[in-house]
């Protein structure tokens, strides 16, 4: 297990090296020289003392020897402090570069991963772990690795000096630390396991903290008097985690202490031996000084090695998690040979077809969609209705390949969507989900990102905003389109749910997509506003294929055809009138809502 600690070294080294080769080489050179300096210094001290003894009567050797040696000692000290300064500079620069690199690697990887990845708790935990630690772990990795190398050099060179004194002294100095070393690396491993085990608890704790300190939660927390409830839950978790840590922590340090005492005793014994040898005239006074310095250095560098190795061990595990994460491959990717999304029929819209599509979410038993088949012509406007959980959103997710169906095929423009380049497909299918994102950016950017290439195009952004009704909202803001939205950043302005929805809708209008999907993004608007938005949406998307999901029949009626989805199946389809005449599920739902208004 001890040697497993070092399996991360090649990876860490490679990571650091590829981040900045020049800094890495500089650090390596500095580290190696610094590793030898304590031994050099101890050796020169021995020479100084021996030369002082020699200068005393009766030998009366020249005093200049003492002067030169002290000057040499000074040179070594200055070199040592200069190198440590250089090492600080280079190391901190390198640390920042490595930390940024790792954070970028994680973000870039996350960018390629399937939605399924994020919705799987096990994968998600890995991502969180890699990401939470990426802020500080690389720093420790870099400094830890170099410290370890430096300490190892110091340790070995000191041992080498001890061999000059008596070979068995060196052997004892080498053997004594080993048990402590093993005990410590075991605790390093346990520490990691504990961290992993406690990870769900830690996440829960962080969640309660968020609930208690975030503006959007505060209202409900106050109204339902939930404050003490959440604080209490946090306290219970924190106490449990603390208790568990306490035991391990105390055991770890007491064990360390016990082993250290053993090595201290061994050192004292050797010291006594060397002192007696000096009295007997076998070892010089300089030799005794050398020994006492070396013994101290061996024990302190040994402790450095210990913490260095268990640190390296933990880094190894982090690097393991990181690389595990980086090795996940997305399943939903563009094919090698892609076809352009050309479509058929009119040029503004695209036809769309589901052929016997079935889909079950990973880890679920019940299928979200069962053998669904339908055809939508280019330019048609379709409404999906059905109760919550019926499978409407799933249809939308499959349509732009956030998930791939287990069975059946989905065709856009007459071709299986798996034949298209993913980016192009998604550019052609504009979707605004119910849980659309409120970006904490300027109003201009919030809308502009609907089509990145046009993000600076004020005219286009304004026109999209006008279509969705967001323009009226934005014109009232302090800095209009330059107003920062959301409360996170300085001078941010918070919007109401309905206002945010208009912004999100404008984003969809920015897009030059040929299939537009609105998945209940208007639920926060009042019925009249929703009707207006959809009516305008219909008018503006004339010729495009449009799908919308709504629970309001006033809106649903605007569709050319209506699909009734129930329990993952397409139960009825037809125009509003046809479905009413059918007197089935649709008529039932419609009458239910209409009754409420009678
Ligand atoms: P609708 O949009 O009609 O309200 P959905 O398509 O969102 O319904 O959901 C259909 C079914 O799939 C529901 O039973 C829901 O619980 C399940 N489901 C939706 N999203 C996920 C997911 N990410 N993981 C597992 N099950 C899901």
- Dig out the tokens for 329 from the structure: 């491959």
The upper half-sphere exposure of residue 414, i.e. CA atoms within 13 Å in the direction of its Cβ, equals 8
Q: Quick count: other Cβ atoms within 10 Å of Cβ 584?
A: 14
Pocket of ligand 1 contains residue 368 by CB under 6 Å: yes
Tell me the torsion sign for CA atoms 225, 227, 230, 235: negative
| Ligand 1 atom nearest to CA at 384 | 3
Bridge-partner residues for 493, per DSSP? 485
Report CA(391)–ligand 1 centroid distance (Å): 6
Query: Tens of pLDDT along the chain (598 residues)?
Result: 556 667 777 877 888 889 999 999 999 999 999 999 999 999 999 999 999 999 988 888 888 989 999 999 999 999 999 999 999 999 899 888 988 998 899 889 988 888 888 888 778 878 887 887 776 777 777 788 888 889 999 999 988 888 887 788 788 877 877 776 777 666 666 666 666 666 778 878 888 988 888 877 888 888 888 889 999 999 999 999 898 888 878 887 888 788 778 878 888 888 898 899 999 998 899 988 988 888 888 878 877 887 777 777 777 777 888 888 888 888 888 888 888 877 665 677 888 999 999 999 988 899 999 999 999 988 889 999 988 889 999 999 999 899 999 999 999 988 899 999 988 888 888 888 877 777 888 888 888 888 888 888 888 899 888 888 888 888 888 888 888 887 767 677 888 777 888 888 888 888 878 888 888 866 677 777 777 777 777 777 778 888 988 888 878 888 899 999 999 999 998 988 898 888 888 888 888 877 766 6
Question: Which residues neighbour 237 within 8 Å (Cβ) at sequence distance 6 or greater?
Answer: 201, 204, 205, 208
- Dig out the tokens for 21 from the structure: 């080769």
Length of the chain: 598
Report CA(433)–ligand 1 centroid distance (Å): 13
Pocket of ligand 1 contains residue 392 by CB under 6 Å: yes
How many Å apart are CA 390 and CA 585, to the nearest integer?
13
Taking a C-beta distance cutoff of 8 angstroms, is the pair 428, 412 a contact?
yes
φ, ψ (nearest 5 deg) of residue 431: -125, 135
Report CA(236)–ligand 1 centroid distance (Å): 33
Distance from CA of residue 69 to its chain's centroid?
Answer: 54
Catalogue all structural domains in the chain, each as residue range(s) with its CATH number: 4-326 (1.20.1560.10), 347-428+515-598 (3.40.50.300), 436-512 (no CATH)
Query: Where is 572: in which H helix or E strand?
Result: strand 569-574
Ligand 1 pocket mutation pick from 393, 435, 550 by most atoms within 8 angstroms of CB: 393
Map 72-102 to HEC letters.
HHHHHHHHHHHHHHHHHHHHHHHHHHHHHHH
| Ligand 1 atom nearest to CA at 363 | 25
How many Å apart are CA 243 and CA 249, to the nearest integer?
10
Taking a C-beta distance cutoff of 8 angstroms, is the pair 144, 311 a contact?
yes
How many Å apart are CA 322 and CA 338, to the nearest integer?
32
Taking a C-beta distance cutoff of 8 angstroms, is the pair 556, 562 a contact?
yes
Pocket of ligand 1 contains residue 550 by CB under 6 Å: no
Task: Catalogue the E-assigned strands of 426-568.
Answer: 429-432, 515-519, 545-549, 561-566
């Amino acid at each position: 297990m001890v040697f497993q600690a070092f399996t991360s070294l090649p990876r860490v080294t490679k990571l650091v090296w590829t981040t900045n080769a020049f800094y890495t080489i500089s650090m390596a050179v500095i580290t190696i020289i610094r590793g030898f300096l304590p031994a050099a210094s101890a050796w020169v001290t021995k020479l100084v003392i021996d030369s002082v003894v020699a200068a005393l009567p009766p030998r009366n050797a020249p005093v200049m020897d003492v002067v030169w040696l002290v000057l040499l000692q000074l040179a070594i000290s200055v070199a040592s402090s200069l190198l440590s300064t250089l090492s600080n500079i280079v190391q901190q620069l390198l640390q920042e570069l490595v930390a940024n690199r790792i954070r970028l690697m994680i973000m870039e990887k996350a960018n390629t991963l399937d939605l399924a990845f994020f919705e799987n708790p096990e994968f998600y935990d890995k991502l969180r772990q890699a990401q939470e630690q990426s802020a500080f772990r690389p720093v420790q990795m870099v400094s830890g690795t170099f410290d370890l190398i430096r300490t190892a050099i110091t340790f070995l060179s000191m041992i080498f000096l001890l061999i000059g004194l008596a070979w068995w002294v060196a052997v004892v100095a080498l053997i004594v630390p080993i048990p402590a070393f093993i005990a410590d690396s075991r605790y390093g491993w346990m520490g990691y396991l504990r961290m992993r085990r406690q990870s769900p608890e830690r996440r829960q704790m962080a969640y309660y903290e968020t609930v208690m300190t975030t503006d959007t939660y505060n209202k409900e927390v106050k109204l339902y008097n939930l404050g003490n409830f959440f604080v209490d839950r946090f306290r219970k978790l924190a106490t449990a985690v603390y208790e568990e840590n306490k035991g391990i922590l105390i055991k770890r340090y007491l064990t360390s202490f016990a082993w250290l005492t053993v090595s201290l005793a061994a050192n004292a014994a050797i010291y006594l031996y060397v002192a007696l040898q000096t009295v007997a005239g076998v070892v010089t006074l300089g030799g005794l000084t050398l020994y006492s310095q070396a013994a101290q250095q061996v024990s302190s560098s040994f402790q450095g090695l210990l913490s260095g190795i268990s640190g390296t061990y933990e880094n190894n595990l982090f690097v393991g998690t990181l690389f595990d994460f980086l090795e996940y491959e997305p399943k939903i990717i563009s094919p090698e040979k892609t076809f352009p999304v050309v479509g058929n029929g009119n040029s503004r819209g695209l036809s769309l077809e589901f052929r016997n599509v079935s889909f079950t979410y990973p880890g679920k038993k019940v299928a979200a969609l069962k053998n669904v088949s339908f055809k939508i012509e280019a330019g048609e406007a379709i409404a999906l209705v059905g109760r919550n959980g019926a499978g409407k959103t799933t249809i939308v997710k499959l349509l732009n390949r956030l998930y791939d169906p287990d069975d059946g095929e989905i065709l856009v423009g007459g071709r299986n969507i798996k034949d298209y380049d993913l980016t192009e497909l998604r550019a052609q299918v504009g979707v605004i989900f119910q849980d659309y994102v409120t970006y904490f950016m300027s109003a201009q950017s919030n809308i502009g990102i609907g089509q990145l290439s046009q993000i600076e195009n004020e005219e286009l952004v304004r026109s999209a905003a006008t279509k969705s009704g967001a323009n009226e909202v934005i014109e009232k803001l302090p800095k209009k389109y330059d107003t920062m939205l959301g409360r996170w950043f300085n001078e941010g302005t918070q919007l109401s749910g309905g206002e945010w929805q208009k912004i999100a809708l404008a984003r969809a209008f920015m897009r030059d997509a040929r299939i537009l999907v609105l998945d209940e993004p208007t639920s926060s608007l009042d019925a009249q506003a929703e009707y207006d938005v959809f009516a305008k949406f219909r008018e503006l998307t004339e010729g495009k294929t449009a799908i919308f999901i709504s629970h309001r029949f006033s809106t649903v009626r605007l569709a050319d055809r209506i699909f009734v989805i129930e329990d993952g199946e397409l139960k009825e389809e037809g125009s509003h009138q046809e479905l009413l005449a059918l007197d089935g599920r649709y008529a039932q739902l419609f009458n239910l809502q209409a009754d409420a208004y009678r």
